[in-house]
Chain A
Amino acid sequence: MTVIKVKSNKELPPQKIYYLPDQISPDSTEPYNSHYGAGIPIAIDFGTSDMRIGLTNNLSPSNIFPSVISRYRDRKLAQTLTFVGYDVYLDSSFKSSLKTPFDGPLITNWDYVEWMLDYSFHHIGVDSDGFVDNPIVMSELLGAPSQQRKNMLQLLFEAYRVPKVTFGIDDLFSYYQNNGKNGLVIGAGNQAINIIPVINSKPILTEAKRINWGGSLCVDYLSKLINLKYPYFPSKINNHQFEILMRNHCYVSKDYQEEINHIFDLNVLEKTDVLIEAPYVENVQPIKTEEELKRIAEKRKESGRRLQEQAQKSRLEKLIQKEKDYEYYTKLKNSLEELNKKQIIHTLEAEGFDDESDFKKYYNNLEKSIKRARKADIGGNNDEIESETPPEFPLVDIPDDQLTEDQIKEKKTQKFLKANYDARKKAHEEKLLEKKRLEELEIQEEKWRKEDLNGWIQDKRKKLNSVLKKKKDRKKLREELNDRKSHAAQIRMKNIAVLAAENSVPNTSGNNTRSSKRKRTITIDNDPNDTFGANDDDWAIYRDIANVEDEDEIEEENQLMLKLEADLLQYDPNFSIENTYDSQFNWRKSIIHKFLRGPRDYDSEKTQHQYQFHMNIERIRVPETMFQPSIVGVDQAGISELSENIIVNRLPSEGFYSKNEIEKAPIINDIFLTGGLSHFKNFDERLKNDFTSFLPVNSKINIRRAIDPRLDAWRGMAKFSNNIDSKNAFITKQEYEEMGPDYIKEHNLGNFGYF
């Protein structure tokens, strides 16, 4: 026997379940800062996902909240209320009108910005009248369009009358906070990924690049992937939940091409697959008592038995009728032998046959159909018939005229019983013969197997293959029939047309010569005049045109296949369980199953399973977009390729260092990762792998992450505002009024001037 190598499902421990993260639901309203001081600079990190605000004499921003706003119309107060940040999530009615001032990376709705600044200054605790007495440090986009800065300056100077303002790029602020001087800053943000080389604390913006892809787009991508993967998932998952899922479970692949080759290997999948379950309520069926169940089963059994009995009875009756006919025609046949040709034809015509061959055909068909009917179960336990003593039917052979009326009635029943008994007996004999035949066949098989194992195996394999081919053909046909234009479908239409034409022309020939007896007995399966059906495949025409499958045939075929497979499993050393037909449906072999359902079996009946989904390839597929934006149709080079070009080509050609001494360039000693996406596991290792591949052999690559990628930008702003570096970076209110909104003071953390 072949050892079954595949472990059964029960041996696998249940997979760890991660629960779907909760939606945002703040316990209380956003707190107010109580330590306001006039003159202390305020740093505002105005991000597309989060706003971080606070007085710069603190170590961390006092308020961090999502950059969202909701305007809610209160009918009772006849007033429109505006909520910002987490306060939007206080009530479900606000959430429905949730808005953001951003469209992609740019601010498009300045009214919202004004509301958000009102909210910010209010929460910081500004208490002066008519103006905000604090210098402002604010973040802005790398290479922000002038309109963005213009509107912001207008708001700050004209609406809030702040004394002075400076802008800077958040990634550079973060680098500044982490004491960087020479390095390559990779800021993987919410809307864009910036790559900025910094040399001697000065950003080389002419060589900086931006990929228009970022965190919120990654979240969208993940959500679309999961929604397409599970189109019928019963509960809705919102973007906030996807964001948390991405943060918790996605990681950067160290070698993507290699990892996707093996991600669906079972031992790999076991480690990488993450099972997430949405909350659900188990659908509890009312439990029936044992007695009830018993009663139901009993009832079902009873009705089944009755139906069976009825069917058996009708089969038996039919068989008896046929036997009678058979007996009659056998006598006729025997009597024909003694007659001459003319007499024969005369007799046959009187019986309603065209000629001798017509009669023979009818006779043979009748014989066949009786044999078939006998094989079918015709009621009663036929095995018992042997032990039964043959019942006696004394009245049957006595002519009617010797009997009383009651006896004639009795005779009728006896006649029926006798026919019944005879039929059953014959059927039993037939079955015994069949059994014997099978036994003989088995002995022959065994003999063959012992004498010529190879030949036997070959034969079995050939048979198995032919069954499999039939199966495959049937499947193919079914698929083809779905397509109206396919060859199979056209043939079917043709058949229907032919049949329709036949039905419309009544078949008159020879009908009137038949006797009334023949006419009465003509049914679809005993019309001897019709050769249709002599070949079993003829019947397939009805299946073909009705477009249904013959389940009996499929069942028979399956039985045969299973038997062949069992035989081969037992005797063929080269045939293992993996070669069987069923094993190709084993979920362990199915990429789709592993993709959708992870390394465990799936039971679609289980409510719990319906509320589960799996993240496996998505865990690396989503972060990989930063390295290959082409995956999501962004026609831009990825992080590594851009970095390569900056370090290897652009900076040397601009004269920052020699192309032959790249390994000595300080920039490669400080590859700095910041921004919301930089938290991904293995991000630094992937960069190290990629950088090693394009830098000279002895380069000392050093990659580091921001200490706190979320807050370091704000902290850098605070540090900057209180440092000598910012002395000449602020634009005062007076300068704004004199020079206009296009005036810019260049500094090492901000954009260059506009032209």
Chain B
Amino acid sequence: MPPLTDDIYQAAVQRPARFKNPKWKTPYRRHKPLRQLLSDEQKRLNNTDVDNKDGTNGNARKDFNQVTYFSLDAYPSLKPRKHYCDITGLKGNYKTPNNGLRYYNVEVYNDVIKTMTSGVDQQYLELRNANIVLK
């Protein structure tokens, strides 16, 4: 590996930064993945709800209209779901009986689906979250 040039060394972020509070110490923070952050937020919201019902500021209307990360989530579509061929993206009128892949016509079935090595079908299904996840 070639040695790094001075230029590149200069580009590294310098610490301590002079504009920072000298008393500041980076706190230890437990790393929480997305899923846990969301469940924490959900818990927090549930607890505040209880406070409201206790009569501190019980405004039912406001509760209903509360804007949270979760209330903003778009709802599922009410329109009939359209099906597409998993391989080509064309209309997917047919479905294989053994793994549920959707396909456009017999050519796709014979040339692609039949000759698929094992596991590839699951990769295709994963594209639309329909794969089987073993836990």
Q: Which residues A614-652 have CB closer than 8 A to chain B?
A: 617-618, 621, 628-638, 641-642
Min C-beta distance of A208 to chain B, whole Å: 6
A516 on the B face (CB < 8 A): no
Q: Are A122 and B14 in contact (CB under 8 A)?
A: yes
Q: Are B34 and A592 in contact (CB under 8 A)?
A: no
Taken together as a complex, chains A and B put the C-alpha atoms of A642 and B49 apart, in Å, by 27
Q: From A104, which residue of chain B is reached at the shortest CB distance?
A: B34
- SS class of chain A's interface: helix, strand, loop or mixed? mixed
Taken together as a complex, chains A and B put the C-alpha atoms of A590 and B126 apart, in Å, by 26
Q: Are B105 and A591 in contact (CB under 8 A)?
A: yes
Interface bracket on A: 35 or more
Q: Are B129 and A633 in contact (CB under 8 A)?
A: yes
The 0/1 profile, CB within 8 Å of A marked 1, for residues 48-68 of chain B is 110010000000001101111
Q: Are B17 and A121 in contact (CB under 8 A)?
A: yes
Q: Which residues B23-81 have CB closer than 8 A to chain A?
A: 24, 26, 29, 31-34, 37-38, 40-41, 44-45, 48-49, 52, 62-63, 65-69, 71-79, 81
Q: Which residues A18-43 have CB closer than 8 A to chain B?
A: 28-30
A50 on the B face (CB < 8 A): no
Q: Are A145 and B24 CB-contacts (below 8 A) given A592-B112, A630-B77, A637-B78?
A: no
Q: Are A618 and B11 in contact (CB under 8 A)?
A: no
Q: Are B19 and A638 in contact (CB under 8 A)?
A: no
Min C-beta distance of A162 to chain B, whole Å: 10
Q: Which residues B67-116 have CB closer than 8 A to chain A?
A: 67-69, 71-79, 81-82, 84, 87-91, 104-105, 107-108, 111-112, 114
- Kindly list chain B residues whose C-beta atoms are within 8 Å of the C-beta of A74: 4
B135 on the A face (CB < 8 A): no
> In the complex, which of the residues B17, B91, B128 has the most CB atoms of chain A within 10 Å of its own CB atom?
B17
- Size of the B side of the interface (Cβ < 8 Å), in residues, is 73
Q: Are A108 and B34 in contact (CB under 8 A)?
A: yes
Q: Are B108 and A130 in contact (CB under 8 A)?
A: no
- Kindly list chain B residues whose C-beta atoms are within 8 Å of the C-beta of A387: none
Q: Are A143 and B127 CB-contacts (below 8 A) given A29-B8, A121-B19?
A: no
- Kindly list chain A residues whose C-beta atoms are within 8 Å of the C-beta of B3: 76
Q: Are B15 and A228 in contact (CB under 8 A)?
A: no
Q: Are B37 and A228 in contact (CB under 8 A)?
A: no
Q: Are B19 and A630 in contact (CB under 8 A)?
A: no
- Kindly list chain B residues whose C-beta atoms are within 8 Å of the C-beta of A641: 77-79
Q: Are A595 and B34 CB-contacts (below 8 A) given A122-B13, A209-B72, A209-B74?
A: no
Q: Are A638 and B77 CB-contacts (below 8 A) given A84-B13, A90-B8, A91-B8?
A: yes
Q: Are A621 and B89 CB-contacts (below 8 A) given A83-B11, A119-B13, A228-B124?
A: yes
- Kindly list chain B residues whose C-beta atoms are within 8 Å of the C-beta of A293: none
A93 on the B face (CB < 8 A): yes
Min C-beta distance of B30 to chain A, whole Å: 10
> In the complex, which of the residues B38, B68, B105, B120 has the most CB atoms of chain A within 10 Å of its own CB atom?
B68
A736 on the B face (CB < 8 A): no
Q: Which residues A129-152 have CB closer than 8 A to chain B?
A: 129-132, 141-148, 151
Q: Are A595 and B88 in contact (CB under 8 A)?
A: yes
Min C-beta distance of B18 to chain A, whole Å: 5
Q: Are A637 and B76 in contact (CB under 8 A)?
A: yes
Q: Are A642 and B74 CB-contacts (below 8 A) given A111-B26, A617-B90, A755-B48?
A: yes
Min C-beta distance of B6 to chain A, whole Å: 11
Min C-beta distance of B63 to chain A, whole Å: 8
Q: Are B74 and A637 in contact (CB under 8 A)?
A: yes
Q: Are B11 and A30 in contact (CB under 8 A)?
A: yes
- Kindly list chain B residues whose C-beta atoms are within 8 Å of the C-beta of A384: none
Q: From A87, which residue of chain B is reached at the shortest CB distance?
A: B11
Q: Are A631 and B128 in contact (CB under 8 A)?
A: yes
Q: Are A129 and B82 in contact (CB under 8 A)?
A: no
- Kindly list chain B residues whose C-beta atoms are within 8 Å of the C-beta of A487: none
Q: Are A225 and B127 in contact (CB under 8 A)?
A: yes
Q: Are B82 and A630 in contact (CB under 8 A)?
A: yes
Q: Are A118 and B77 CB-contacts (below 8 A) given A90-B8, A103-B33, A628-B82?
A: no
Q: From B73, which residue of chain A is reached at the shortest CB distance?
A: A210
Binds B, one of A153-161, A238-246, A354-362: A153-161
- Kindly list chain B residues whose C-beta atoms are within 8 Å of the C-beta of A148: 37
Q: Are B127 and A224 in contact (CB under 8 A)?
A: yes
> Mind listing 12 A-B residue pairs with CB under 8 Å?
A30-B11, A105-B34, A114-B26, A122-B14, A128-B19, A145-B37, A228-B123, A260-B90, A592-B111, A632-B129, A755-B45, A755-B66
Question: Which 8 pairs from chain A and chain B are nearest by CB?
Answer: A633-B129, A145-B41, A633-B128, A637-B77, A29-B11, A81-B12, A636-B74, A103-B34
